[in-house]
Amino acid sequence: MQNDFDVLIIGKGPAGISAALYALRAGLSVLIVAKDAGALSRAHAIANYYGLESAITGKELAQRGEDQAKKLGAEFFTGEVIDLMFAEKFHVRVKYENAETEFLAKSVIIAAGSVRSKAPVPGLDAFEGKGVSYCAVCDGFFYRKKNVAVLGSGAYALAEASELLPLAASVSICTLGEKTTVEIPADYALETEKIVAVEGEGKVQKIRFESGKEIAVDGIFVAIGTASAADLARKTGAAVQKNKLAVDEKRMTTVPGLFAAGDCLGGILQVAVAVGDGAKAGLGAIEFVRNLKAKESK
């Protein structure tokens, strides 16, 4: 598989597949990266969508969309996107099985849904902006030579921790009582107990665990589950409003070439809306990539 594409789409739900269909028919190379089809694959029955004479399962509808995109030449990669950055092109880092890889793209469409895993930690919300962050790339600089903790037990948490390790004095990974799904290197302190409180005077100062143990921290980075659409967008500097990506009428974010579609934009969370959003994002990406290629050819 090549590693450089015109359009890379994160998510293979109705928004992502719809965007892919338009980009593919325009002759662009398209890679779709996803672990699964998201909420659609878990829907018991879809009966209110145009053209369906009788209800079908979400899983079946998702498979039809994927098959359609494959026939047009889309490439698929099964994995979890753990990092997104821009340096001349978009760089998308993906965790799969026990390895990592990176893909390049002229344009990226985030269609990864809207779910953010909230940390079940008393007091955490009160310290947002006062030591609690959701983006190591964005805020790691402010914690140079300080003690930080990352909340999470999977690949996303480890990726955030790796961004902080060269900057911070110490990095603790707190799993909140969950089993780790990746191997945690010895570079990090591993805390597997549940957290009962985040405490501090005006800012984060310490974490208290179920056993009564406490650790002093200056910052906490939340990386539970997988990276949400908002998490990924923030890594590029794209504007996010109340965990929803800010886009224009073409579904482009505040970062040129970065588009978003589907549930991550909020509003009515329905297949029909996601498909329409995907079409707009796909058309926007086509225009962006074509203009970019025209400039490069001069």
CA distances from 184 to 40, 86, 95, 288, 296 (A): 32, 27, 14, 40, 43
pLDDT over 60 (residue 37): yes
pLDDT in tens, 60-104: 999 999 999 999 999 999 999 999 999 999 999 999 988 999 999
Verify that 33 and 99 share a domain, yes or no: yes
Verify that 132 and 263 share a domain, yes or no: no
Q: What residues contact 66, with CB distance under 8 A and at least 6 apart? A: 12, 17, 37, 76
Verify that 22 and 69 share a domain, yes or no: yes
Cα(175)–Cα(181) distance, rounded to whole angstroms? 10
Verify that 11 and 106 share a domain, yes or no: yes
Verify that 102 and 8 share a domain, yes or no: yes
Verify that 176 and 238 share a domain, yes or no: no
Which residue range forms the structural domain that includes residue 183? 125-222
The residue out of 187, 222, 257 marking a domain boundary is 222
Verify that 9 and 100 share a domain, yes or no: yes
What pLDDT does residue 225 have? 80
The residue out of 180, 200, 222 marking a domain boundary is 222
Indicate the pLDDT class of residue 118, thresholds 50, 70 and 90. low
Q: What residues contact 204, with CB distance under 8 A and at least 6 apart? A: 127, 130, 131, 132, 198, 217, 218, 219, 220
Pairing of strands 240-241, 219-222: unpaired
Indicate the pLDDT class of residue 176, thresholds 50, 70 and 90. very high
pTM of the complete model: 0.80
Verify that 212 and 246 share a domain, yes or no: no
What is the rounded average pLDDT for all residues in the chain?
Answer: 91
Cα(219)–Cα(2) distance, rounded to whole angstroms? 39
- Please report, rounded to a whole number, the percentage of residues in the chain having pLDDT higher than 70: 98
Verify that 66 and 10 share a domain, yes or no: yes
Residue 217 belongs to domain with CATH number: 3.50.50.60
What pLDDT does residue 136 have? 87
What pLDDT does residue 274 have? 94
| Structural domains of the chain, count | 2
Q: 191: closest CA among 148, 230, 162, 231?
A: 148
What pLDDT does residue 134 have? 81
pLDDT in tens, 41-64: 877 778 888 898 888 998 999 999
Cα(192)–Cα(283) distance, rounded to whole angstroms? 46
DSSP characters for 35-91?
Answer: SS-GGGGG-S-B-SSTT-SS-B-HHHHHHHHHHHHHHTT-EEEESEEEEEEEESEEE
Q: 148: closest CA among 170, 132, 127?
A: 170
Verify that 245 and 211 share a domain, yes or no: no
Classified as helix, coil or strand, 110 is strand
Cα(194)–Cα(211) distance, rounded to whole angstroms? 9
Verify that 206 and 138 share a domain, yes or no: yes
What pLDDT does residue 114 have? 64
Cα(111)–Cα(108) distance, rounded to whole angstroms? 10
pLDDT in tens, 270-292: 899 999 999 999 999 999 999 99
Verify that 138 and 198 share a domain, yes or no: yes
Paired tokens of 7: 């359009």
Q: What residues contact 70, with CB distance under 8 A and at least 6 apart? A: 76
Instruction: Return the number of other C-beta atoms located less than 10 Å from residue 49's C-beta.
Output: 14
The residue out of 202, 222, 242 marking a domain boundary is 222
